[in-house]
Amino acid sequence: MNVFSDTAFDGHEQVVFASDTASGLKTIIAVHNTNLGPSLGGCRMWPYATEQEAIHDALRLSRGMTYKSALANLPLGGGKSVIIGDPRSQKTPELFRAMGRAVEQVGGRYIVAEDVGTSPADMEQIASQTKHVGGISDGKDPARTGDPSPFTAYGVFIGLKEAARFKNGHDDLTGMRVAVQGLGHVGYHLCQMLYDAGAKLVVADLNQASVTKAVDAFGATAVSVENILSVDTDILAPCALGGVINDRTLEKLRVGIIAGAANNQLEHARHGDMLREAGILYAPDYVINAGGVVEVHYCREGKPVSDTNKHIKGIGATVREIFDRASQQNLSTSFVADRLAEERFGLRQHAA
């Protein structure tokens, strides 16, 4: 089992392995960097095939949070935790209370929130054991349910509009064609905002019921999941899976802008350069999908949702800075985003 030599280790400050025999908890808590503040990141519950796979995922995701929070101008570092187990059959209140005790032992250097396989209800159990937790309804504001997705969608919408402004000289989306891949928690909220802004939607999802709902509510045009990446539209918003921009899909793309919520949209870093060479403006995923982490932070600080939304609006200025630098220096927007994040959290100084 490798930790220090894992390809995603990247100078992690701390990696904690914790277990609880009674509840069956096996967790890895990874704290990548706390230069800007305590690390914050979701707790993913997943039936990892091997322990190495779980370690790798914790390290990779935790590092990503350092970059995301730095570019979101939050006083937070990057961390993440994984619970090895099947969320469909192995979740119990005891398991999450044990997780809460494990988080408590990290002493505030890691703040946990929900992620794939965990929910606001699970965070409530964790909260019975530690105060270092976010992603819970505050019971006061109906807009604050503990679900970060509407805030993530708002940040994506802001980033997408900024991309339209950079490309077209204005951010009026009236009549613009936007293809949305994935109509889940984030994708559906995004469709609502795009529809309200006058965009024409083209949608696809594996779940036919979600497609029908979007067609009925927004007059969206439905296409198959096989064709959504090759439709001729102004903008593509990937809101389903990672790795959708790759050698196979790049030549099919017929869009001017890519701006969506899905994490790790580029299969490899070089695909950022290939998008630039193809004249496609890419709004880096982790920059524009940071709305959820912003909300988790503001909720923990006891600040109103209006403050969250004001902060999320600032994603527009960050995206603009990335686009400007990338165009001045003939670099890909994804490369520039990484260097800007590193400047902010102080890893290294680059010329970009």
Residue 183 marked as a ligand binder: yes
Record the tokens describing residue 56, joined without a space: 């790798």
241 is a contact residue toward ligand NAD (CB under 6 A): yes
Catalytic residue among 26, 80, 91, 200: 80
Question: What is the distance between the alpha carbons of residues 134 and 108, in angstroms, rounded to a whole number?
Answer: 12
Amino acid present at 223 = V
200 in Cβ contact with 177 (< 8 Å): yes
DSSP 51-87: HHHHHHHHHHHHHHHHHHHHHTT-S-EEEEEEEES-T
Q: Is 143 in the site for ligand NAD (CB under 6 A)?
A: no
Which residue's CB comes closest to ligand NAD? 184
The reply on whether position 64 binds ligand NAD by CB under 6 A is no
Say if residue 64 carries a ligand binding annotation.
Answer: no
State yes or no: residue 206 binds ligand NAD (CB under 6 A).
yes
Q: Is 229 annotated as a binding residue?
A: no
The nearest distance, CB 42 to ligand NAD, in angstroms, is 9
Instruction: Closer to ligand NAD by CB, 36 or 239: give it.
Output: 239
Task: Round to whole Å and give the CA distance between 284 and 202.
Answer: 21
CB of 22 to ligand NAD, least distance (A): 31
Of the CA atoms within 13 Å of residue 154, those in its CB half-sphere come to 19
Instruction: Characterise 11 by phi-psi region: left (phi > 0), alpha (psi -120 to 50), beta (else).
Output: left
Residue 181 engages ligand NAD in binding (rule: CB under 6 A): yes
On whether the CB atoms of residues 82 and 99 are closer than 8 A, the answer is: no
Tokens 């993913």 correspond to 44
Asked about 80 being catalytic, the answer comes back as yes
Question: Does 309 interact with ligand NAD (rule: CB under 6 A)?
Answer: no
Q: Is 170 annotated as a binding residue?
A: no
Is residue 333 within the footprint of ligand NAD (CB under 6 A)? no
Q: Which is nearer to ligand NAD, 19 or 207 (CB)?
A: 207
Angstrom distances, CA of residue 226 to CA of 181, 205, 218, 252, 274:
10, 10, 21, 11, 22
Residue 182 known to bind ligand: yes
**In a 3-state reduction of DSSP, which class is residue 283?**
coil
Q: Locate 14 and state its tokens.
A: 């701390």
- Number of alpha carbons in the 13 Å side-chain half-sphere of residue 19: 5
Asked if 186 is part of the footprint of ligand NAD (rule: CB under 6 A), the reply reads yes
Are residues 217 and 200 in contact, defined by beta-carbon separation less than 8 angstroms? no
Give yes or no for residue 152 binding ligand NAD (CB under 6 A).
yes
Q: Is 155 annotated as a binding residue?
A: no
x/- contact string, 246-285, with ligand NAD (CB under 6 A)? ---------------xxx----------------------
Query: 110 or 286: whose CB is closer to ligand NAD?
Result: 286
The DSSP symbol for 276 reads: H
Q: From 69-77, 200-208, 250-258, 313-321, give the range in contact with ligand NAD by CB under 6 A.
A: 200-208
User: Active-site positions?
Assistant: 80
The footprint of ligand NAD (CB under 6 A) covers 148-149, 152, 181-187, 204-207, 210, 225, 239-241, 261-263, 289, 292
- Residues marked as binding for NAD(+)? 182-187
